[in-house]
Amino acid sequence: MHKFRQFFTSGVAFTFLVVGTTGVIFQFFFKTKLLEEIHGWLGVAMVAAAAFHIFQNWRPLKRHLQDKRVYLLLIPVLVLVAFFTFAAQEKGQGVSPKAIVRKLAQANAADVARTLGQDVDRVYASMKADGLTVRGASATVQDLARDNGKTPEAILNYFMK
């Protein structure tokens, strides 16, 4: 088992670097689905590699833990981890884009056009030019989407041009 020590030590170091880097990116820059997947799966791999690393280095770790000064660092770290684990979570603020699209899809076309600073006749002309069926201005975006076999998002794109 000791012949794998370098493998697990390197595995812990590599996964720590990737998980740490993606965590910083999430906190200060942006999140993408791909980075979240990488972060999550390499986090699991890091825990597994760390468990094997601890198992392989148990004797030196036990000797290390006999020094009481180690607890001066270990206890505050554990208190911080516990605090952030059990602290109340902030509720998300703002409105989700899906909720906005849902509301716009339920509104009639004239109101959506006015809200987005467009002329409904110009929007309808653009839709007709693309071969779409249009109704009167009182039709909802959802009705237009259903009539044309499109998603409400695809119809809303005409209002955003």
Q: Quick check: is 92 in a domain?
A: no
* pLDDT reading at 82 higher than 80: yes
Q: Quick check: is 11 in a domain?
A: yes
Which of 33, 67, 86 is the endpoint of a domain?
86
* pLDDT reading at 14 higher than 60: yes
pLDDT of residue 99: 85
118: burial class by Cβ within 10 Å (0-12, 13-18, 19+)? middle
> Could you read off the pLDDT of 98-149 as tens digits, one per residue?
888 888 889 988 898 888 888 888 989 999 999 998 888 788 999 999 999 9
What range does the domain containing 59 cover? 2-86
pLDDT of residue 92: 66
pLDDT of residue 149: 92
> Are 19 and 60 found together in one domain?
yes
> Are 104 and 41 found together in one domain?
no
- Please give the C-alpha separations between residue 78 and each of 49, 70, 74, 83, in angstroms, as whole numbers: 20, 12, 6, 8
pLDDT band at 61 (very low <50, low <70, confident <90, very high): confident
pLDDT of residue 67: 86
> Are 6 and 68 found together in one domain?
yes
pLDDT of residue 2: 67
pLDDT band at 1 (very low <50, low <70, confident <90, very high): low
Write down the H helix ranges in the chain: 5-28, 33-56, 58-65, 69-86, 97-106, 109-115, 120-129, 141-148, 152-160
Which of 52, 86, 120 is the endpoint of a domain?
86
> Could you read off the pLDDT of 17-55 as tens digits, one per residue?
999 998 888 888 888 888 889 999 999 999 999 998 888
Q: End-to-end distance of the chain based on CA atoms, in angstroms?
A: 64
Residue 147: Cβ within 10 Å count:
14
> Are 81 and 6 found together in one domain?
yes
> Are 10 and 62 found together in one domain?
yes
The pTM is what?
0.46
What backbone phi and psi angles, to 5 degrees, belong to 57? Answer: -115, 30
**Count of structural domains within the chain:** 2
> Are 140 and 71 found together in one domain?
no
Q: What whole-number distance in Å separates Cα of residue 131 and Cα of residue 119?
A: 19
Q: Quick check: is 146 in a domain?
A: yes
Pick 2 or 37 by higher pLDDT. 37
